[in-house]
Structure 1
């Protein structure tokens, strides 16, 4: 087998591939690849732990291929005499917690998920108590997997041995109790300690992913009225909408449910619950910049003047909002691991930073292992919601001073796969030169990826960032404008600058 097939499955810090037949793409993630990658992770972990009696947890989201892959992974691990905790349907953040929670304390964790991607995808995320594996770690795992992919395996592992080495663990029950206890203790309601959300109507849209537990095991337990919650039951075909707080259809669905049921708040999770979004009682989305503003306001109440790390496409208005609350706005690169690692770096260098959050909804807090955890993020916000209710206020009041751009847009340009890195570098140079010769624009020197261009009122009145996609042969353009028609002015400038490129280079 061509080992490049395994390396092609690497997607940053994850493994992702096509696991089910579909109309457009060939299957490239089967039991064979999953077993080899599992062996690679086992050997990678063994090299670090230097112990033979490893304990590894395994969990899945609602995807159709999850159970089959889980069985292959567990059987492979048992073949190495690993003690396995089968956590069944779980969330990605909860799987990390198995490496640190009492009653678990696993050496490693494996989550079978492809996040918000369509039903025919699946993938794998890996954790140790130090956090999720880095990109370089995944490369090492795949190096070891390549040594195993074509080896003939004649080991017979009986079902009785699998059962003996595997323990079924109620992870989501245990994890939910942690969230419930935190909310109770932090709200500390004098009226009803056990049900601090009583009197609030809060619904959940899980998109048929793994987040449905939050309704029953968290909100209901805390006294919220959750009637009107939707798509709670796991269904790997995602028949209603893609579980993704950035998806317009998904946000429209939860918005309609909030208005129809006269709710105080709507919560939406992505498939594996490492991201989340909200809808307020008026049906307005609290995601992307608004979500960052909400949690920033909460964090800055607890930690004055702290640094808020965001990604490169976060709004200038968000920066103004954070600064108005006394915080420091630190815009970094796209990619949840990038913003998390930057927050960790700042803390290590003596600059206090209590949160790293991407516009996509990945939010990681210092108080929670810098783990991007949608359920923890929402729990943190619910604590504030309960306190605001006592004051006769609601979540919207936290961000009443947040301004929004008049227009914003994301454009993706597909490049030739053969030499896309060369083309993307040429495009960046071409646009840089065009900006330098245009009196209505200037390069933002305080930028961490691609090029960021500030535009005056004569041409767009805003900014745009042009960068390479993290995982695909594409260029991504994010534009923000403070006037009507500004997007058209900026995009016309970019289009004219790139007009020299041929059709086979820019598709």
Structure 2
């Protein structure tokens, strides 16, 4: 392993790699051998973190439905037990459940590992790490990789044991009890979702448990639920609530089966989106608006932290209609969550952090981004709305949505893409200031956001640098037909002056 590039496995606050051949020009760098060393390194890091000897550690391990999952998981568990630590084998699990295993009575793992690469293609896999304090940060991952690179991790005289345990049923019961108590149905306490048809699309990931272990015990009719069986080839659609094909599939299922509600999860269930009874998507700004309305009923004046690409209409809805405070921050779900936690610590109450991708973390739930928890909050309100003779989407009746929106991704064709990208952003700031009907939006935490006030534009755009890739994403919204094209043309006149940009997206 002398020449292995361990740092290449780091993807922000988790580890990602290529675990299977099958995609041109993508070569395996996350092998069982590498995974075993990562298991050893995490146990050693955790021992120092919680001040326990290796042989007293209990570490939970779970995986999603990826084809490489069983082999990588077995290797990770062998690595953990080789240094003397004990393993709880949770088999198929969700990412949020792995965190909950560190704080749930009867389990209380010292740490946990989830084997997942979220919605990425079948050949990828990765590791997400947790302690009772939450998900690990970037520096923690760097430290674990540094330990792995030394390749001097001492094995124990006696291996730890692997114990197969069912945590997902316990985790699911937490939602069942939460929904029962919150709805407090006057005639059927145990089955508050009786009379509601609710369809789940798990995208052949790990989220199928929600239909069987949560909805059915609550009395919901789950007829028409689809792609619940785990299948790492993902044969039906990408398990990603942001993917248009995936959203079209759950929308159509709701319409076909005349359901009251539709639910879609990503592969490892840390993200979700929904569909109303008319087959209309409840994702991105609509999803944020809906959960914000629920949160602000419970916690008036709370600050709602979102990522940077949310719409002006959402800001007006949260600030004016709901009486909250909309705080836009940087893209990246960890950035959004950490900012919400920071504000809350400083006395600016923040009960919700949510990214447009569907990552939502709530203060009441340990600031854990849990797609199943988000859906459970929506279902509570759905059941209450039915009892009151109302519709769930009445909550977002005043949300003004843009007439048009588009995201463009401009590739940067130089090796030092960050320097060039930052230079483009600085020049865009200067260019924006020179335009009489463009205004630079203040308090923007990444890139440059511009309000476009001309009658034929009436919208905004955000130009920023991608967190990891040599790409400048551009998000554009307009409140008038054709407005996006007018904004694009003015943007293009500026971008054509910049070298090394691939403008084919325009």
Query: Under a length normalisation based on structure 1, what TM-score does the superposition of the two structures give?
Result: 0.96
Match of 1:249 in 2: 245
Superposition map of 1:16-165 within 5 A? 16-24=16-24, 25-52=26-53, 53-148=56-151, 165=161
Q: Do the aligned partners of residues 76 and 440 (structure 1) sit closer, same or farther apart at CA in structure 2, a change above 3 Å counting?
A: same
CA distance in 1, matches of 2:414, 2:172: 44
Paired residues, number: 500
Matched, 1:230 2:231: no
Match of 2:279 in 1: 283
Match of 1:350 in 2: 347
CA RMSD of aligned residues (A): 1.7
Q: Deviations over 1:283-327 (max 9, x none)?
A: 100001100111111111111111111111111111111121111
- CA drift of 1:423 comes to 1.2
> Does the 8 Å contact 2:458/2:483 carry over to 1?
yes
Match of 1:6 in 2: 6
- CA drift of 1:273 comes to 0.3
> Does the 8 Å contact 1:423/1:505 carry over to 2?
no
CA distance in 1, matches of 2:350, 2:496: 43
Q: Which runs of 5+ in 2 are unaligned?
A: none
Q: Do the aligned partners of residues 390 and 299 (structure 1) sit closer, same or farther apart at CA in structure 2, a change above 3 Å counting?
A: same
Structure 1 residue matching 2:492: 3-state secondary structure: helix
> Does the 8 Å contact 1:208/1:243 carry over to 2?
yes
Q: Deviations over 1:364-422 (max 9, x none)?
A: 01110000000011111111111100111121211111110011111111113511012
Q: Do the aligned partners of residues 506 and 262 (structure 1) sit closer, same or farther apart at CA in structure 2, a change above 3 Å counting?
A: closer
- Does 216-225 or 408-417 show the bigger shift? 408-417
Q: Do the aligned partners of residues 135 and 417 (structure 1) sit closer, same or farther apart at CA in structure 2, a change above 3 Å counting?
A: farther
CA distance in 2, matches of 1:196, 1:228: 20
Matched, 1:495 2:498: no
CA distance in 2, matches of 1:304, 1:503: 48
> Does the 8 Å contact 2:462/2:475 carry over to 1?
yes
CA distance in 1, matches of 2:122, 2:23: 12
> Does the 8 Å contact 1:430/1:497 carry over to 2?
no
> Does the 8 Å contact 2:113/2:130 carry over to 1?
yes
Structure 2 residue matching 1:313: 3-state secondary structure: coil
> Does the 8 Å contact 1:183/1:379 carry over to 2?
yes
Match of 1:367 in 2: 364
- CA drift of 1:3 comes to 5.8
> Does the 8 Å contact 2:251/2:280 carry over to 1?
yes
Match of 1:469 in 2: 466
> Does the 8 Å contact 1:245/1:268 carry over to 2?
yes
Q: Deviations over 1:123-164 (max 9, x none)?
A: 00000011000111111111111112xx699x799xxx77x7
- Does 12-21 or 413-422 show the bigger shift? 413-422
Query: Under a length normalisation based on structure 2, what TM-score does the superposition of the two structures give?
Result: 0.96
CA distance in 2, matches of 1:459, 1:127: 49
> Does the 8 Å contact 2:103/2:109 carry over to 1?
yes
Matched, 1:209 2:205: yes
Match of 1:271 among 267, 272, 296: 267
CA distance in 2, matches of 1:152, 1:141: 11
